[in-house]
Amino acid sequence: MARQLIDSYGRVHRDLRISVTDRCNFRCQYCMPAEGLDWLPREELLTFEEIERLARVLVERFGVDNIRLTGGEPTVRANLAVLVEKLAALDVDLSITTNGTTLPALADSLVEAGLKRINVSLDSLRADRFLELTRRDELDKVLAGIDAAIAAGLAPVKVNAVMMRGINDDELLDFARFGRDKGVTVRFIEFMPLDAEGRWTNETVVTLDEIVRRIGDEFPIEPVERTSAPATRYRYSDGGGEFGVIASVTQAFCESCDRVRLTADGQFRNCLFAVDETDLRSLLRSGADDDALAAALAAGVASKWAGHQINQVHFIRPRRSMSQIGG
């Protein structure tokens, strides 16, 4: 029987986020500064074999049963379907978060390799605003990617929209209608202090309470029972599907969080907002056996703090932005 990956507060961790690259084919304001970032040299990235080995240790030793591939933009990693097939063989719930632009070409091959679910990041449904936010005029490609994911049989298809006051919060109901019409689950995300340019303030956060109130004023909704998943969920009472809100800022769910993260360069993070990391790449490349890897993973989770403390005076902003950590 697998041991549990447990921290000192009794939280059991079974959800692994793997960043397969720090690169992206967008230069989003949320993820990176206008001048871009210095990409990691190829040799500093974990190989597919190294990723598979760490994932196998987490699955077989600690009962991890949910793996999500992130980036950067994971689909810019060459031969991604090869990694999907390796991880799908571990018999886990395997999913991916992507900006969706390459899905018309990749969705079928990813499903054939074993991908089950997908999240597409999309912060505006307006072409001019999408261009402003991403510095790419490719909204049509993202929308086509969502259609390709649906056609390939990925389910559920979720659309992640970071709501930012004064930037895209006037599209809140547009996203709600989009989800209802398209049959996808929109997840509204409170703007978190992980933007590369450091412009986050409390005033830019569109809160869960506001999101739920504004949608509820337009459509009849009812709450769905909460799970360990990050989103607080609501269903449309008329059968129009559901939406979720990830309220990391105003209603933090740290007490139920079961996620750990592996960065593209092999650093193990026990929290999205962690300020310390465990260097697994060095262990891998120095010949460490699985027992040593398991010990490092267990120690990393054991040191997890109670919560991220956003809005507290002692909150420390992580030195890496979202594109470097993996969502």
Burial class (CB in 10 A: 0-12, 13-18, 19+), 4: middle
3-class secondary structure, 163: strand
pLDDT in tens, 236-294: 999 999 999 998 888 877 777 888 999 999 999 988 777 789 999 999 999 999 999 99
Q: Which of 175, 187, 171 is nearest to 245 (CA)?
A: 187
**Which pLDDT score is estimated for 168?**
96
Q: Compute how many other C-beta atoms are within 10 angstroms of the C-beta atom of residue 235.
A: 15
| CB proximity list for 42: less than 8 A, separation 6 or greater | none
**Which pLDDT score is estimated for 313?**
45
Classify 36 in phi/psi space as left (phi over 0), alpha (psi -120 to 50) or beta: left
Q: Where do we find the tokens 């900006």? A: 99
**Which pLDDT score is estimated for 282?**
98
Q: Where do we find the tokens 């084919």? A: 25
Q: Can you list the domains of the chain with their CATH numbers?
A: 15-325 (3.20.20.70)
- Sites in the chain below the pLDDT cut of 50: 1, 313
**Which pLDDT score is estimated for 69?**
97
| Position 190, amino acid | E
Q: What are phi and psi of 56, to 5 degrees?
A: -65, -40
203-216 b/e (C-beta count within 10 Å ≥ 16 → b) = ebbbbbebbbeebe
